[in-house]
Structure formats: C-alpha cells, structure tokens
Amino acid sequence: MLYRRIDDIPVKLSGRVAIKLHMGEAGNKTHVSPSDVRVLVDKIKENGGEPFLVDTTTLYPMRRYTVEGYQEVARENGFGKLNVVIAKDDVFEEINGIKLSKEILGMDSLLILSHGKGHGLTAFGGAVKNIGMGCVVKDGKRKIHFPTFPKYNESKCILCGSCAKSCPINIIKINNNKLEINLNKCMGCRACVIACKTGAMWTPDNAIEQTFDLLSLAAKGFISRFKGDIQYINVLKNITEHCDCMPDPGPVVCDDIGYLTGNDPLKLDSESVEMIKKKNPDALDFDTWELFERIAKKHF
C-alpha cells in the first residue's frame, strides 16, 4: 500500500524492535531522513516496544567499515539522539553458507526500512538488498561479492593504469612494472573490469548472476530464520541514481512517490521499480533489475 505521509503508516511491532536501515555514508544527504525514523520510533514506543536502529559494517574500507566509524557517521547524519546498534562482525549465524548477523536475528521483531534508489550492482536497492546484504556480516558480504572480484591475466596487460584509476578504494597499484591488487579489500564493484580495454582484468560471464543468487539466498535465509514479525517499508523519496553508500549519490532521477508498505520484500521492490519506471522510463537500469528479479524469484 502506498502512503504519502509516514505518520499514516500503521506499525504494530512489539518487544525489542530493530529498525534496519542504511544510515548513509559520511556526506550523503539523501539517505532515509532522521525525522521520518523518529516518527516510526515514536510509534513503536507508543505500542510499548523498544526500538533500535540497526545496521552492519561495510565491506569497503570507508568510515562505516568499523562499528566505531559507523557510530560516528550515524551521529553526523542526524541519528545521534536515537538508539543506534551497529552489529559486530564476529557475532554471526551461518545459514545457506552465508554468515548473517546474529545480533539482528536475535531481535524480537524487525522493521525493514529501505530507501528505494539506484544501485550499481542490482540497479535498484530496496528491501531485498537491505536484508540480503544489510543483515549480513563482513565475511558474508565478501562471499556474496566474491564472484565479481576481478581476475587478472598478466599476458594481456599493457600496464596502462586505467583499472587503478577506476578503483574507488585505490587497491590496485602498479609498482616496478607489476600490477598488484589487494583483493582482501575488494568489494567486487567491477569498475576495474569495465575500465580495462584489453581483457586483462575480467570476471566470468555468469559472475553477476552468481552474486545475485547469493544475495537473494542470504535474504531468504535471514527471513526464514527470523522468529518474530517483520514489516517492510520502502521510502520512495530522494530517488537517486546511486546508493547511499556514496557520499555523492548522483542526481535525483524521479519525483518523490511516498512510502510503500507490504509483507513480501521482493514484491515490494518490484512494485517500487514499476512506480519509478512509470514516472521516468530512463530512471534506472531496468534490464539489470529484471535479471536480479528473475534470479531472486527462485528463492522467494
């Protein structure tokens, strides 16, 4: 159901309620707003519940890489007065071979609050990604991204340096006519593969499909294992070209739509994407989204 105002959304969750959301990278201005979150926090308290804002640390080495770093960024982004819990990477439960956050799994109920926006991997980031990547600890995130980590064929490399320039976290270096990649820090974004014009940097043909499969498997594994109630809200406001992991997520690509709620995360995301497409048929990479949707449906 679509709501124009967040105040109108019924929230019936009780006990220790985790509001799972992305609180934005440092400098990002388009993440879910603290004032919207405050409305939901107050509703949960009115029901006698105890709300927490929760998220996990990132795979890429920016400020949200550590619990302490993420807490600082959450404060800077306006969430300081709310109860923020950043899950520890060493507290996990392995389901379907992927390490999920045991701290989030241990909450009584869950509000999956997702900012609907473009995403470099899945084309749209919403509820499924908020669980399948967002409720997974660092090792699990690495496993999901692993198929898209670059492979390197030295015999095709002309040492042009394009891959190094394209890497957003500077983990490719050319020293003494040798290229080195620190794959321990890689986040599988494939920018280096796209930048390489000789085929020296490559990923297997079905790498993206494999990552999509692991991501949706993680989301479904989490939902199946979670014992309490789950409510989903997609915030379709400030719909940017890129995700909230970017300090600058690019331009807004679609007028604000409102707040979409439902109890099936994939259906909610599909409806969100359809609404965006109606507003702007060029807003997102819809072909990539449809590929993700097709793969995710195997698990949902």
Residues binding ligand SF4 (CB under 6 A): 150, 157-163, 166-167, 169, 171-172, 179, 181, 186-192, 195-196, 198, 200-201
Which CB sits closer to ligand SF4, 196 or 284?
Answer: 196
- How many Å apart are CA 5 and CA 124, to the nearest integer? 22
Cβ proximity to ligand SF4: between 3 and 202 the closer is 202
Query: Shortest gap between Cβ of 120 and ligand SF4 (angstroms)?
Result: 10
At its nearest, how many Å lie between ligand SF4 and the CB of residue 227?
36
Compute the distance between CA of residue 226 and CA of residue 174 in angstroms, rounded to an integer.
46
Q: How far is the CB of 235 from ligand SF4 (least distance, A)?
A: 28
How far apart are the C-alpha atoms of 226 and 135, rounded to whole Å?
A: 11
Give the nearer residue to ligand SF4 in terms of CB position, either 24 or 150. 150
Q: Give the rounded distance of the alpha carbon of 27 from its chain centre.
A: 17
Q: Which is nearer to ligand SF4, 3 or 146 (CB)?
A: 146
92, 137 in Cβ contact below 8 A?
Answer: yes
Nearer to ligand SF4, 40 or 191 (CB): 191
Query: In this complex, which beta carbon is closest to ligand SF4, that of residue 86 or of residue 157?
Result: 157
User: Shortest Cβ distance from residue 149 to ligand SF4 (Å)?
Assistant: 6
CB 180 to ligand SF4: min, Å? 11
Closer of 91 and 169 to ligand SF4 (Cβ): 169
Sequence-separated (6 or more) residues with CB below 8 Å from residue 188: 145, 146, 147, 148, 149, 211
Query: Could you tell me the smallest distance in angstroms from the CB atom of residue 140 to ligand SF4?
Result: 17
Smallest distance, Å, CB 249 to ligand SF4? 17
